[in-house]
Amino acid sequence: MTKDRRGSTHPESTHGRRGVRQRVFRRIVAWRWVIVAFWVVLCVPCAWLATRVGTDSSVDGIIDPNDPGIVQSREFAAVFGRGEIAVLILEADDPYSQPVLARADALVQALTAVPGVTARSIVSAFREAKAGFDPQKDAERLRRFATGTTFFRDQGLVGDDFLVVALVLDTEPGAERDDTLAAVDRAIDEVGSAGLRQLRRVGKPYVNRYFDAAQRRSGPIYFGLFMAFVVVLTVALFRSWRTLCAILLTLGVCLAVSMGFIGVLGGKFTLVSPMVPMTILVTATATLVYLQARFADKPDERSVEDHQIFALANKFLACTASIFAAAVGFAALFVSHMKAIRDMGVWVAGGLFLTWLVSFTLFPALQRLLRTPTRSARQATARSWFAALARVLPGFTYRFRWPLVLGALVLSAAGVVAVFGAGRALTPMTPLTEPIEYVSRDSEIYRDTVRARAILPGLSVTQVWIKGDAKVNLADPPMLAGLERFERALAADDEVGSVVGLPSILRMVLYAGDQGDKWPGDEEGLDELAEMLESLSVAKPQAVRAFVDRGLTQTQFTVINGATEHEAFARLQARIDHHWQETTAAHPALAKLELSTVGLGPLQAKMSQSLVPTLVESFALTAGIIFVTFLIVFRSGAARIMTMLPSLFAILVMFLVMRITGMAPNVATILIASTVLGTSENDQIHFFYHFQEGRRRGTVEQALEHTFLVAGRAVFFATIINAGGFLAFAFAEVRPMQQFGGLTALALGLSMIADFTALPAALWLVFRAKPDALAPAPAAADTPKA
């Protein structure tokens, strides 16, 4: 058995599995033209399939469409009509002045003409109640109409310095919604804003349009930055344009076939989906850097052809294990209760499998066709700094082994406390799912929403759906009396907020008819109200359709408040249930009815509740699978113990940074743990592979130096590329993506530092070894203490 200058086994002296791998790679290289043609042809349908991948960047688009809450919301919409609510706030010094009222009236009429839009305001309510409205003649009458009851102010339709135009958009998410909002914007521009201090646009449709537009604007930026980063570092690392072309072409094919795979599955990109292609690209780039670095480091006495086969066979196991570990790690996201995150796990896992195929077929073919160069004298000089570092690191990590290991453990423990809390002294980290908090603080929609929160009862909508069987008649006086008491109890509860339901609508009908807004307190008055409801349901069903069905068996109350997170919605649900139980006890007629809550509010609460289980379960499953992978590949007690030390250290310190800086987990940052673990484990796999390779021939110090020389430089540059790739997300407009990019880059950098410090320090302790200068004799027979 012969060895090269580094002590690496000569390819022609190996047998068994490596011999099989070498024969396979010789076949691949021999069939290089066929392989290149195959991937080029395959890219054509993949590119077409990629164009079929849709987009839905709304936060609620993350939830499974078959989720019981979503299904129930669709059933609710079938009864009361669907639609997303948007709000236009018309601010003015005197909102009841003639110019402001004229502008509001013209705006409502213009918006009503937009297909799929229903517009309502105090002006339209007056127009319907008084059979018309003339801004010049009726301004004072409208003022008295608006201020003669507390209803309009309680619902947030009017204020001391504003009027509200409420919009209901009956559109599909995506392009149809954006076209409708564009038509709304044109109508607003045509009407103008004369007499207004400010016109603000808020609500879910505007937030979702912002997310879609932000993703379209940011995508080319951060993917362009990543590719520029790859170009610069590849040229700096390999000093070869031919190598750069081979890597870029391979990355392009990896991306094309991965997107084609998503298209085959009928995928639709959501708020977190841009991480899919980026994760695939950074993993592919790291793999190609490892392959090319091993190939470029050719002994002078070996031919390029033989050395290419050796390099591929030598890195096959480590690269395959690292890609497999990353793939199954992302596949572990399938345990999430959120469909978008489950899809992301499947897409990344499938994309990484395709990346593995491309990396070990197309890239070797391109290496040979483009004749990518091996190490030159100039390159050897350029890498001398790392050779010097490789000689220093073993001694340094031995000397400071205890501070390095204990320091890593203390920081990791602090990270655990940061995530899960410490009893009453420190509460666990709370997930953040409020969509507006994902928006850039400098955006107009964010500023408008902050103002809206200050002057409106809230922006979170929850519907309380009450339904009975076909025998129920909500127009029965006992039913109406019970529903009115329930609405009154909800409205009086500070935890609930603003409430509007069928009793409110009937009160407004009375008020519009100059009969006051008081609920009748006698049986005769209730009988008249019941008759009025039955008449409205037949003669003017559109007047009550949003709150009662045609059969008068179902009704709903719309609750608007400031709840944004799971705990607030849980309290809201508890108060709703409490008041319903009290009301049904006082009004037995309501016992025939069933109550449930639907709407965006409960869905956000459900998503918030799902974030932490997604983080914990997927991370635990990922860690377990990667641990088993190490166990199978390395069969070493030291490897089993030290497997994930750098990655776990990096992830936990990252959570500590989040806690210190006040960042809350969100739909993107909960994925960092699985992403970093799956990505950074590549480094540990390559580290241990070459450590064992060196350990079979020498001492721990010699094995560490061999590892740093063979894999250290590739680990360093692969980490730089990976961290730089994810750091590009810092240029995204959506805040969770910004945070994901910065924190992931930080964690990958910390993992690399631990690879070069804490990991070798731990190995010194596990093997109970000393540097060669301190040992009485070479410790080639040292046995690790598992």
The whole-number mean pLDDT for each consecutive block of 10 residues of the chain, a chain of 786 residues, reads: 42 56 93 96 94 76 73 85 86 93 93 91 88 89 91 88 92 85 94 89 90 86 88 87 95 96 90 87 90 87 90 90 82 77 90 96 96 66 69 94 95 92 87 83 92 84 89 90 93 87 88 84 85 80 79 90 77 92 93 88 66 64 69 61 80 94 86 82 81 87 90 84 88 90 94 94 89 67 45
Residue 318 to residues 296, 325, 701: CA-CA distances in angstroms? Answer: 17, 10, 22
Helix (H, G, I), strand (E, B) or coil at 417: helix
Q: Are 557 and 487 in contact (CB under 8 A)?
A: yes
Q: Are 748 and 723 in contact (CB under 8 A)?
A: yes
pLDDT at 409: 93
Single out the residue of 571, 573, 568, 577 nearest to residue 608, CA to CA: 568
> Phi and psi at residue 776, in whole multiples of 5°?
-70, -25
Cα-Cα-Cα-Cα torsion 580, 585, 586, 590, nearest 10 degrees, comes to 60
For residue 297 the two structure tokens come to 């480091």
Single out the residue of 468, 452, 447 nearest to residue 549, CA to CA: 468
pLDDT at 378: 45
Amino acid letter at 573?
A: Q
In which region does residue 461 sit, left (phi positive, over 0), alpha (psi from -120 to 50) or beta (all else)?
A: beta
Q: Which residue has the tokens 């994760």?
A: 279
pLDDT at 382: 46
Q: Are 763 and 642 in contact (CB under 8 A)?
A: yes
pLDDT at 13: 41
Q: Count the neighbouring beta carbons within 10 Å of the beta carbon of residue 469.
A: 9
Rg (CA), the chain: 33
Q: How far is residue 168's CA from residue 145's CA, in Å, rounded to a whole number?
A: 24
Q: Which residue has the tokens 């002994």?
A: 299
- Parallel/antiparallel/unpaired status of strands 84-91 and 198-203: antiparallel
Q: How far is residue 191's CA from residue 165's CA, in Å, rounded to a whole number?
A: 14
Task: Look up residue 8 and give its DSSP letter.
Answer: P
Contacts of 70-75 spanning 24+ positions with Cβ under 8 A:
70/603, 72/465, 72/596, 72/598, 73/598, 73/599, 73/603
Q: How far is residue 70's CA from residue 65's CA, in Å, rounded to a whole number?
A: 6
